[in-house]
């Protein structure tokens, strides 16, 4: 009995790590989605608002995202705004992007490590220790706990996004470089708060939906395993 509880606890931790890893990787992928940026630009009329050509806006965005992904060394992006050639981002915006880049790369690394570690643990539980039922049960517990926390954050974001977004920055950034001025800073004009609200809602629906599907599959598998064990016990009587 104690052994079963131990293996279930280990699998619960693995399940928790797995969903953390998957969600972090999903968030990183959605944040870097060129298609999402294009959709938001078209919806908000960003090119016209900034008085920039569509080609310059697309080129600047590609360079910007490539920098965050560590494929570009700097954010020296020259564009034509209102007929005048200039640097797109000022020094404050560039300094903030150094922090954003560190956060993105760190989240991606942590996500991959968590997912890989969880898969290894679950595979060991299933194929080495032969604890399939405990592994599935533990995974369900870990997934359910994370989903509950995720749902709370989703409700907070949907009900008062400004407060949610402000608190997010206070937690993950140690300075106030993220406080940009739409009068002087192009970045906040390109991606205003409504942009990030749409992004977070995408994470909620895609990430949350994915977790629910996997959780439902795990619950179904657990019921089938329990039924199989019950039938096996009856046949041996």
pLDDT in tens, 160-190: 999 999 999 999 999 999 999 999 999 999 9
Evaluate whether 122 touches 18 at the Cβ level (below 8 Å): yes
Whether residue 235 is predicted with pLDDT greater than 90 in this model: the reply is: no
Q: What mean pLDDT comes out for the span 218-230?
A: 89
Q: In this predicted model, what pLDDT tens digit does every residue of 18-30 receive, in sequence order?
A: 999 999 999 999 9
Evaluate whether 159 touches 36 at the Cβ level (below 8 Å): no
Structure pTM?
0.92
d(CA 207, CA 111): 13
Angle at 131 between CA 127 and CA 137, to 5 degrees: 125
Would you place residue 49 in the very low, low, confident or very high pLDDT band (cuts 50, 70, 90)?
very high
Whether residue 207 is predicted with pLDDT greater than 80 in this model: the reply is: yes
pLDDT given at position 2: 61
Our count of domains for the chain comes to 1
**Domain limits at 121?**
2-235
Evaluate whether 12 touches 142 at the Cβ level (below 8 Å): yes
Evaluate whether 172 touches 103 at the Cβ level (below 8 Å): yes
What are the residues facing 81 on neighbouring strands?
84
What φ, ψ does residue 146 adopt, rounded to 5°? Answer: -65, -40
Would you place residue 237 in the very low, low, confident or very high pLDDT band (cuts 50, 70, 90)?
low
What is the share, in percent, of the chain residues with pLDDT greater than 90? 87
Residue 223, both tokens: 């019921």
Residue 14 has, within 13 A of its CA and on its CB side, a CA count of 23
pLDDT given at position 84: 96
Whether residue 1 is predicted with pLDDT greater than 60 in this model: the reply is: no
Would you place residue 228 in the very low, low, confident or very high pLDDT band (cuts 50, 70, 90)?
confident
Mean pLDDT of the chain: 94
pLDDT given at position 146: 94
pLDDT given at position 230: 82
């Amino acid at each position: 009995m104690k052994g079963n509880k131990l293996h279930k606890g280990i699998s619960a931790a693995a399940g928790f790590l797995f969903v953390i890893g998957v969600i972090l990787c999903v968030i990183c992928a959605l944040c870097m989605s060129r298609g999402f940026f294009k959709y938001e630009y078209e919806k908000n009329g960003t090119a016209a608002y900034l008085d920039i050509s569509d080609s310059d806006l697309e080129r600047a965005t590609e360079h910007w995202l490539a920098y965050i992904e560590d494929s570009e060394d700097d954010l020296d992006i020259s564009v034509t705004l209102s007929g005048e050639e200039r640097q797109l981002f000022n020094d404050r915006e560039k300094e903030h992007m150094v922090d954003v880049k560190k956060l993105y790369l760190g989240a991606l690394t942590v996500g991959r490590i968590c997912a890989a570690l969880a898969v290894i643990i679950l595979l060991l539980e299933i194929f080495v220790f032969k604890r399939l039922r405990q592994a599935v049960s533990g995974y369900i517990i870990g997934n359910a706990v994370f989903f509950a926390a995720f749902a709370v954050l989703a409700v907070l974001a949907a009900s008062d996004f400004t407060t949610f977004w402000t608190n997010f920055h206070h937690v993950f950034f140690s300075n106030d470089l993220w406080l940009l001025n739409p009068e002087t800073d192009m970045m906040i004009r390109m991606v205003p708060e409504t942009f990030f609200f749409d992004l977070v809602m995408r994470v909620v629906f895609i990430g949350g939906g994915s977790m629910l599907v996997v959780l439902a599959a795990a619950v179904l598998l657990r019921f089938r395993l329990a039924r199989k064990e019950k039938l096996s016990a009856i046949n041996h009587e």
